[in-house]
Structure 1
Amino acid sequence: MSRPSAMASFTAVVVQIPGHGSFTVTGEAVHMIDVFGGTLHCYQGSAGCRKQGLYFSRTEPKKYLECLVTELSGHESGAGLDDGREMAISVSRELAPKLDGAVLHFGNYNKMERFIWLSMPSVPGHPCVCRRSIGAPAGKRSPCLDDSGVGLSDV
């Protein structure tokens, strides 16, 4: 998927998670959220090389927290979208406490264009190499989510 060079015009935003701090979304990720309709839901589930896989969806998971999106300059919702539409980002209740200080990005990683958590300071230990899973290693035969080609999965 090729992206227009105008992508640089998208501004990074800060996402406030009710009761759990905040994380930053890079301009590249804001652009792709806009391409996918202005909505992104972040959640964790089983699978992956570690105990918890990190997933993204355009549909709402069963239990989620709606987040407040603000531009880095402090302006409320609608941040970063050219046509004035509001951007909706939510996180699952299980993932929320792990995202304080995290950075969400979109780029080409392991030959796939996808969302990736560049950093998750609230998660102890080392992330998996492709940054698709967190937690203790799940075992030698556990599938890598990149090998499985999991991108956006509509729950």
Structure 2
Amino acid sequence: MKDHDTPPQSGQRRIDWGHLALLLLICGVVVTYLLDARATSLKINNLLLVEPAAIIALILAAFVLPQCFRRKSEDGDAAADSPPENWHNLAKVAALAAAFGAFALSLEVAGFDVATFLFVALGLYICGERKLWVIALFSAVFTLVIVYGYQMLVPYPFPLRIL
């Protein structure tokens, strides 16, 4: 039998190197930040947010890691297993990045509460949600939780406009 006649073995996998590299970069930054925070001080006030967030981030990365290793399709074409990247999807990513940039720049001008509400609402719309009541309700609840949670944990007086 010739090489091209043999079907792929059932255990063959394709590694998505781009996603794996990004995931490893994120984990590296999280671990570096955690080690730096622990080297600075082991007091609970210093590690109250950093250590739990780092642990959660690493656990989430462990859940994402298996998605970097995919089975090849029956015809051996690994590209058929992943969704195609098109200009529409890339435009969504660019729009979300621009919205995040606008959010960061508008925090002091519009206030943390208004900027957060608008960013979440715009992000939901960009990602495909079209029901305005869902966008408004989720954005409002998310903003309330973030603003009041942040105020309880961090004593820094950040500007608010409505809350």
Q: Compare relative contact order (CA 8 Å, sep 6+) and give the higher one, 1 or 2.
A: 1
**Which protein has the bigger helix share?**
2
TM-score interval for Structure 1 and Structure 2 normalised by the shorter chain: under 0.3
Normalising by structure 1, what TM-score? Answer: 0.22
TM-score by length of structure 2 reads 0.21
Higher strand share: 1
